[in-house]
Amino acid sequence: MAIRSLVRKAISSVGGALGYVAYSRPSRCWIGLREYCKRGNRHDLVKVHPAGVKFPIYMRRGTSDIHNFAQIFDRKEYGFLPINPLTILDLGGYIGLASIWLANQYPDSKIVLVEPDPDNYAIALLNCRGYANIKCLNYGVWSKSCKIALVAQVGGDWGNMFAEVLLDNDSQELCGIEAKSVMDLMTLNGFDRIDFLKIDIEGAEKILFDSPDAIDWIQKCEVISCELHDRLLPGCSGSVYKAVSRAGFSSGKHGEFDYFIRERS
């Protein structure tokens, strides 16, 4: 059964939710949920309703979804934010969990989730459909507007790596997933500035930050969070830190993410 069919089925179902409320430390409930989700068929959806979250969350069994859930709702890896962001751009939105956590923490924010993978995007739509302040876009993000294609998957569905599709002499049109630049995404969504830019794009951050015009959108950000993937593409850390250092940011680490906060004089 295709993921989109599962999403339609989940939307139409009226079944109860599997409750998960223990976050501070692992409990039998959490351990049982984790082990249940780690195994099984990816076409089985698990419905979970975390405490303090408006709407239930859906995850696919046998995928990296449960690891992303633990990262965001158990370890609270976006809990470092020093500001109350009103504009949030979630690059590499996966199945929507980071955007959902942020929407519940900052209900007045406008959040744009960008996810290139069609199956992940379908689950993100399902998870975010109750939030009027989350907009989901089925795009990739690149240094320019172009087409990209999946070239590798490392560590599960959250580890999709993409590359630009180049037009050869025999092709009249490009096949692949549409990708936008950060500036194009800002224009598309009416963002003059980005209070919080979240980046988790499996090595493509090097492409973004190596671009000569990266400084144009970096200067429009207040806080940037980026998971660095040197293990997948050597040089990611150097490219990010070099670009951000020119724009007056302080840096730190929180969980798996490096973050950069604009310094105020």
DSSP string, 46-62: EEEEETT-SS-EEEETT
Q: Give the integer Cα–Cα distance in Å for 114 and 137.
A: 5
Q: How far is CA 79 from CA 71, 114, 198, in A?
A: 11, 21, 13
Interval 125-136 mean pLDDT: 97
In degrees and rounded to multiples of 5, residue 161 shows phi and psi of: -110, 135
- CB-count burial class (<10 Å; 0-12, 13-18, 19+) for 150: middle
Q: What is the pLDDT of residue 12?
A: 44
Q: Are 59 and 65 in contact (CB under 8 A)?
A: yes
Q: Are 147 and 175 in contact (CB under 8 A)?
A: yes
Lowest average pLDDT, out of 129-133, 170-174, 217-221, goes to 170-174
Under the banding of pLDDT at 50, 70 and 90, the label for residue 4 is low
Task: For residue 222, give the 3-state DSSP assignment.
Answer: strand
Q: Per the confidence metrics, is the pTM higher than 0.85?
A: yes
| 254: in domain | yes
Q: Give the integer Cα–Cα distance in Å for 114 and 141.
A: 8
CA angle 42/46/50 to nearest 5° reads 140
228, 136, 224, 214: which is closest to 181 by C-alpha?
214
Under the banding of pLDDT at 50, 70 and 90, the label for residue 22 is very low
| 163: in domain | yes
| 49: in domain | no
Q: Are 27 and 51 in contact (CB under 8 A)?
A: no
Q: Which domain range does residue 116 map to?
A: 75-262
| 184: in domain | yes
Q: Give the integer Cα–Cα distance in Å for 4 and 203.
A: 27
Q: What is the pLDDT of residues 37-56, one digit of tens each?
A: 888 888 889 999 988 899 99
Q: What is the pLDDT of residue 34?
A: 84
pLDDT winner (highest mean) among 33-42, 90-99, 230-239: 90-99
Q: What is the pLDDT of residue 25?
A: 41
| 219: in domain | yes
Lowest average pLDDT, out of 24-33, 91-100, 203-212, 243-252, goes to 24-33
Q: Which two tokens stand for residue 208?
A: 């973004």
Q: Are 11 and 126 in contact (CB under 8 A)?
A: yes
In degrees and rounded to multiples of 5, residue 48 shows phi and psi of: -125, 140
| 252: in domain | yes
Question: CATH no. for residue 113?
Answer: 3.40.50.150
Q: Give the integer Cα–Cα distance in Å for 149 and 151.
A: 6
| 205: in domain | yes
Domain count along the chain:
1
| 110: in domain | yes
Compute how many other C-beta atoms are within 10 angstroms of the C-beta atom of residue 151. Answer: 11
Interval 180-187 mean pLDDT: 97
